[in-house]
């Protein structure tokens, strides 16, 4: 059987390539060049593959219909919003996946964003690099109110890492079972919007979370919070973010995931109070290894039935 690996970080990792080679009996094709495939390029890359280890590439109905040989999919990473699970099930294509393997990597980045934003670290560093000595030290994270939207693997890890800061933490999740084992109450989104100094997004992207936060919600944010999105692009409306910044409803934001990648809108990312990174939340070295090993293990499991 032929295997194709679309993820650039997996493909460039020699240890993971060696692991696959030692366990996979068949031809293997890697995305060594680090290409962010268009849909047509992705179909060409996967054209003769029986199995795929996929990262963020969209495996939708059109792609599946163009790949009649494809029999197995293993997910490198934790989000499944880029794989049409219904279409896969209808075609008898199993999808290997393990949740939470990069949770600490994303959670640590979220804490880093929170401290950097509230203390003005990124903004003053950028000004200093341009020769401007501006001593505006911001506020401490300790004892502030932090709103977490989504309490899955990453949300729980952020909650744990926030404990030493003695913050008041408000949490919302559509799944009440997410709170099992915790002495926490499910806060309404309206309360999180009104009371939080920092709001961090940790939900998957779905029909329910698409445009979860728009200018309507941001105009109710009385504390002018900092927003953090290390989840998926599209949960916060990007165009509305610019309106909210102009109108002063939010103090700034940090974004690691965008609707359009790899090139988000310059009108947003060039602002001084906007801290942007190229979707690296789950890409700490340790997380890459954990996600890669998980993808390999799940591939072997599903190909063995």
Q: What is the pLDDT of residues 193-211, one digit of tens each?
A: 999 999 999 999 999 999 9
For residues 12 and 43, state if they share a domain: yes
For residues 200 and 127, state if they share a domain: yes
Residue 77 region, left (φ>0) first, then alpha (ψ -120 to 50), else beta?
left
pLDDT given at position 79? 86
How many independent structural domains does the chain possess?
2
For residues 72 and 158, state if they share a domain: no
Domain boundaries, position 291: 3-98+284-303
266 is catalytic: no
The total number of residues written for the chain in this structure: 305
91 is catalytic: no
pLDDT-above-90 percentage for the chain: 96
For residues 259 and 299, state if they share a domain: no
DSSP 131: T
pLDDT given at position 146? 98
For residues 32 and 144, state if they share a domain: no
C-alpha–C-alpha distance, residues 60 and 248, integer Å: 38
Catalytic entry in 232, 249, 266, 286: 232
For residues 21 and 152, state if they share a domain: no
Average pLDDT over residues 9-13: 96
Read off the pLDDT band of 263 (50, 70, 90). Answer: confident
Catalytic entry in 261, 270, 271, 286: 261
Greatest CA separation for the chain = 62
For residues 107 and 94, state if they share a domain: no
pLDDT in tens, 14-46: 999 999 999 999 999 999 999 999 999 999 999
pLDDT for 152 beyond 90: yes
For residues 88 and 210, state if they share a domain: no
Read off the pLDDT band of 305 (50, 70, 90). Answer: low
For residues 34 and 123, state if they share a domain: no
In contact, 197 and 142? CB cutoff 8 Å: no
Average pLDDT over residues 245-271: 93
For residues 43 and 119, state if they share a domain: no
Read off the pLDDT band of 287 (50, 70, 90). Answer: very high
Average pLDDT over residues 68-80: 95
For residues 130 and 210, state if they share a domain: yes
Average pLDDT over residues 63-76: 98
Average pLDDT over residues 167-180: 97
C-alpha–C-alpha distance, residues 61 and 283, integer Å: 28
Catalytic entry in 157, 195, 202, 279: 279
> What residues contact 190, with CB distance under 8 A and at least 6 apart?
220
Residue 248's CB: how many other CB atoms inside 10 A? 8
pLDDT in tens, 220-241: 999 999 999 999 999 999 999 9
CATH number, domain containing residue 233 = 3.40.50.720
Read off the pLDDT band of 265 (50, 70, 90). Answer: confident
For residues 125 and 21, state if they share a domain: no
143 is catalytic: no
pLDDT for 108 beyond 70: yes
């Amino acid at each position: 059987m032929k295997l194709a690996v679309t993820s650039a970080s997996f493909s460039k990792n020699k240890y993971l390539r060696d692991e696959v080679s030692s366990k996979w009996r068949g031809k293997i094709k890697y995305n060594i060049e680090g290409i962010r495939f268009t849909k047509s390029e992705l179909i060409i890359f996967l054209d003769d593959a029986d199995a795929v280890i996929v990262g963020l590439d969209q495996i939708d109905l059109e792609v599946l219909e163009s790949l009649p040989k494809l029999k197995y999919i293993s997910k490198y990473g934790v989000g499944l919003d880029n794989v049409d699970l219904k279409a896969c099930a209808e075609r008898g294509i199993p999808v290997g996946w393990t949740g939470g393997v990069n949770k600490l990597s994303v959670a640590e980045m979220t804490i880093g964003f929170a401290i950097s934003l509230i203390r003005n670290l990124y903004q003053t560093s950028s000004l200093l690099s341009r020769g401007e000595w501006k001593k505006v030290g911001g506020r401490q994270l300790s004892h502030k109110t932090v709103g977490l939207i989504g309490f899955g693997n990453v949300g729980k890890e952020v909650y744990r890492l926030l404990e030493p800061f003695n913050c008041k933490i408000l949490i919302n999740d559509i799944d009440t079972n997410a709170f099992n084992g915790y002495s926490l109450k499910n806060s309404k989104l309206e309360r999180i919007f009104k009371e939080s100094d920092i709001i961090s997004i940790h939900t998957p992207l779905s029909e329910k979370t698409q445009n979860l936060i728009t200018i309507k919600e941001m105009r109710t944010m009385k504390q002018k919070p900092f927003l953090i999105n290390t989840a998926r692009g599209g949960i916060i409306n990007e165009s509305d973010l610019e309106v909210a910044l102009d109108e002063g409803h939010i103090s700034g934001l940090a974004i690691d995931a965008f609707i359009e990648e790899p090139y988000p809108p310059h009108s947003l990312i060039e602002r001084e109070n906007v801290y942007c990174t190229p979707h690296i939340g789950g890409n700490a070295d340790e997380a890459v290894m954990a996600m890669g090993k998980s993808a390999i293990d799940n591939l072997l499991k599903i190909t063995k039935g």
